[in-house]
Structure 1
Amino acid sequence: MNILILGNSSDTHAAHLKNVLTQAGARVDYLDTNLFPTQLRMSWNPNTQIGCLTLPEGRRLKLQEIHSIFWRTFSGVYIPQLKDSYQQQIAFNDSMSALRSFMQACPSRWVNSWQAYQFHKEKPLQLNKAKQIGVTIPDTLIGNHPEEILEFVQIHEKVIFKPVYGGAHTQVLTEEHLEPKRLNLVLMLSPIAIQEYIPGTNVRSYVIGESVYSAEIRSPAIDFREDTDAELIPRELPEAVQQQSLAIAKAFMLDWTAIDWRVKPNNEYIFLEANPSPMFIHFENETGFPITQNLVNLLMN
């Protein structure tokens, strides 16, 4: 059974999964897209839908021979520096177009898919999709209109801000941030995402297929992902939230994900985001949840 891991050996989670899958009897290789097109070769015929992948060490795989692919990290492509910047851009565009086509044409099971990865990058749409399926989200505003941002701040007791694209850089919005000259300068460079601050507890839920594993994350930090000393306590979700977790994964096209919740003092669960390629080793070690084994089952079945 041929399984590929999108990424390379420098990633602890990729290396961990490769080792466990190999022990389970699979033939596992890294698919490091940063080696395309210099060392990684691929081809695909849209008419016959026949394609192949030749790895840097020379091993050749037909697309139909690849059982599954685990999406750990996507590093794009690497084009050697050319003197002509126009030719450089053409080479980059052609390589990315070929790679994107290849990744979407490959009939293997992707955990997770290109479509899921693309959807994850549009965080405002992710929040909207969660709202559409009946999940509660924080009051949120995305944009670069200073008057609307000031109006939003006025109606909430406490507000946080974060990158629209996502990432662990959540901060509390202060009067200093709202100083007119500073605010206008920032908003001329990029839009921001601001949200009402939700008092309560952080909970992370890992969804793998039909299984859901959750833990409370005890941390004084606004963004627990920046706290290396955060404490993890296994927690049973209410049945309704358990079903919401499965519904979010399905709506976001995710075979596996980590969902971040904020739980208010009244035990109301507020959805924050769903990650298509979360880190999991520390969570597994602290809670004892069989995340690795579930991923192995998902990739080998």
Structure 2
Amino acid sequence: MVSRLPGSVLIVSETDDLHATAMAATLREHHGLSPIHLDLRDFPRESGSFRLDRLGTTRSLSHVIGLDTVRSVWWRRPHPCQVPGGVRASDDAYRQAECDGFIQGLLWSIPAFWINDPGADRTAARKIVQLETAQRAGFAIPETLITNDPDEARSFVESRPGAVVYKRTGTGRAEFAETRIITAADFGKLAGIRSAPTTFQDYIQAECDLRVVWVDGIAWTVRIDSQAGVGRVDSRLDTSVEFTRDQLPASVSKSLATLMGALGLSFGVLDLRLGLDGEYYFLEVNPQGQFAYLEIKTGLPIFQSLSNLLVHSDGMVPGY
């Protein structure tokens, strides 16, 4: 692959994001680059302009230097603009829409290498899109129902031969919600899904869980001994168990590459579950997922790999 000449790297994320801070340090250490870090909540407190004339295009933000030199962008969990509230809700909604339309258009129109393309990122974050695409890519998928119909949900749970878990369907910044096994005592709460469509899925008896960080063709894979601790249902609940480097079988790697290509993602963090039946079950992919703790626990050079992709369109790390 032909390497690009290094230009400015733009990281769009909240100011205190650990991953953004670590990536900035990695870019300085390994590439001699100091990235631009942009928190969208600074607009419209700070001013911005877009100008198009016969000489070309100019983009500017008053608190950012070098926006027109950006060659790659890490679209990393950005907040929306932070528009001051007014007297009328309709005015607030209008101002929010105008600010979002401006700042998103200003950034998304930059002819840069994106991790990830914002349009693909938004579509791929939808769980239903992920599941459908993963199945077409060859992954095993737990039998699933996503619904806001309490009767449909109860019928599904009662029809399954084993345990069923329930979990969030959305991917917003709401409070953390763990994946749980549904019990008869939960049936009385099903009315609440009417305004919150919920995912119901066969519970997979597991040998372990795997978290895979995909960097444009490279699958940094971590095996999580989830069944040895309190995170048997949801591996996110226990980071005290053993985390070890692992590799995926060739057939699973092929399905992974097909999935990420179909979703249009150059980066993503995937959750897989290795069942007692030997199948690798796809659970979800987060286009803006967390991975710093995986590098800390295993020493995998994930930040360096991603920084190489931002600078050279190549996530390879010498010696790996």
Question: What TM-score does the superposition give when structure 2 sets the normalisation length?
Answer: 0.86
Distance 1:284 1:258 in 2: 13
Give CA deviations for 1:107-130 in whole Å, capped at 9, x if unaligned: 111111211321133111211111
> Is 1:73 aligned to residue 77 of structure 2?
yes
SS of equivalent residue, structure 2 residue 187: coil
Equivalence for 1:54: 61
Tell me the matched-pair count.
295
Moved more, 150-159 or 37-46: 37-46
Question: C-alpha displacement at 1:299, in angstroms?
Answer: 0.4
1:5/1:72 contact within 8 Å kept: yes
Distance 1:42 1:230 in 2: 50
Equivalence for 1:300: 311
> Is 1:163 aligned to residue 184 of structure 2?
no
1:207/1:213 contact within 8 Å kept: yes
Picking from 271, 291, 301, the partner of 2:302 is 291
Equivalence for 1:192: 198
1:161/1:193 contact within 8 Å kept: yes
Give unpaired runs (5+ residues) of structure 2. 1-6, 313-320
Give CA deviations for 1:203-250 in whole Å, capped at 9, x if unaligned: 111111221121211123121112232321212211111122222221
1:224/1:230 contact within 8 Å kept: no
> Is 1:251 aligned to residue 262 of structure 2?
yes
Moved more, 215-224 or 97-106: 97-106
Give CA deviations for 1:143-184 in whole Å, capped at 9, x if unaligned: 1222221221122210000111146521111111113xx322
Moved more, 161-170 or 259-268: 161-170
Alpha carbons of structure 1 residues 163 and 45: separation in structure 2 relative to 1, 3 Å: farther
> Is 1:12 aligned to residue 18 of structure 2?
yes
Equivalence for 1:272: 283
2:41/2:80 contact within 8 Å kept: yes
> Is 1:260 aligned to residue 271 of structure 2?
yes
Distance 1:48 1:249 in 2: 38
1:5/1:69 contact within 8 Å kept: yes
> Is 1:28 aligned to residue 35 of structure 2?
yes
2:149/2:194 contact within 8 Å kept: no
Alpha carbons of structure 1 residues 207 and 240: separation in structure 2 relative to 1, 3 Å: same
> Is 1:234 aligned to residue 273 of structure 2?
no
1:245/1:259 contact within 8 Å kept: no
Structure with the bigger RCO (C-alpha within 8 Å, sep 6+) is 2
Give CA deviations for 1:32-84 in whole Å, capped at 9, x if unaligned: 1111121152425499872413251x52522xx21111122210001112223
Distance 1:194 1:285 in 2: 33
Supply the RMSD in Å over aligned alpha carbons: 2.0
Alpha carbons of structure 1 residues 94 and 125: separation in structure 2 relative to 1, 3 Å: same
Alpha carbons of structure 1 residues 91 and 272: separation in structure 2 relative to 1, 3 Å: same
Distance 2:237 2:55 in 1: 48
SS of equivalent residue, structure 1 residue 83: coil
Amino acid at match of 2:93: Q
Question: C-alpha displacement at 1:11, in angstroms?
Answer: 1.1
Distance 1:109 1:218 in 2: 36
2:8/2:66 contact within 8 Å kept: no
Alpha carbons of structure 1 residues 169 and 103: separation in structure 2 relative to 1, 3 Å: farther
Distance 2:293 2:49 in 1: 35
Q: What is the identity percentage for the equivalent residue pairs of Structure 1 and Structure 2? A: 26
Alpha carbons of structure 1 residues 3 and 150: separation in structure 2 relative to 1, 3 Å: same
Give unpaired runs (5+ residues) of structure 1. none
Distance 1:93 1:109 in 2: 26
